[in-house]
Amino acid sequence: MAFALSTMQLDSSAFAAGGSIPTQHTGEGKDTSPALSWQGAPEGTKGFALICHDPDAPLVQNGSYGFVHWVLYNLPASTTSLEENSGQGTSGINDMGKPGYGGPMPPEGHGVHHYYFWVLALDKATDLPEGLSLPELLKQIEPHLIGMNRLVGTYQRG
């Protein structure tokens, strides 16, 4: 399946769709991942992956994804939420060169950036190694993608 939105819903108790991401979830705060929850996964879902990226960032890192803030995978089908600063799943490498979540921190004077949190439903449970980049993860999971949706938050440095 190509990357097409599905009827899944992704929400956060930290911010509303289109709303501002609280400072505690940014590089200017505690840099903790926000709580997320999802529902409506397609029938046959065996696992999930999560991604957060900023398409408003300059495309200097890899030319096609903006700036990747979070790559998380190997989440079982029974997972429908992540607590704030969750340790669930397997961490990939973000564009800061670190594993796990790296919160919003757009360049000063760069205006409002949009942060896309994606949940991806897969028809196969995964046991992928730690430290995959977003392109490496997508190469592994795209053939198994059966549904996806996003939650977009915004942030602007003060």
Q: Which residue has the tokens 């991604």?
A: 51
Q: Which domain holds residue 86?
A: 9-147
DSSP single-letter state for residue 142: G
100: its two tokens:
């796990």
- Look at the chain and report how many structural domains it folds into: 1
DSSP single-letter state for residue 41: P
The CA distance from 154 to 150, in Å, is: 13
Render pLDDT for 115-135 as a digit per residue (tens, 0 to 9).
Answer: 999 999 999 999 999 999 999
Q: Is there a domain that residue 49 lies in?
A: yes
138: its two tokens:
């997508």
37: its two tokens:
């929850």
Render each residue's pLDDT in the chain as its tens digit; 158 residues: 455 678 899 999 999 999 999 999 999 999 999 999 999 999 999 999 999 999 988 765 555 668 999 999 999 999 999 999 999 999 999 999 999 999 999 988 889 999 999 999 999 999 999 999 999 999 999 999 999 999 999 999 87
Q: Is the pTM of this model over 0.85?
A: yes
Sign of CA dihedral 14, 107, 101, 54: positive
Q: Is there a domain that residue 34 lies in?
A: yes
Q: Is there a domain that residue 19 lies in?
A: yes
CATH code: domain of residue 143: 3.90.280.10
The CA distance from 24 to 11, in Å, is: 17
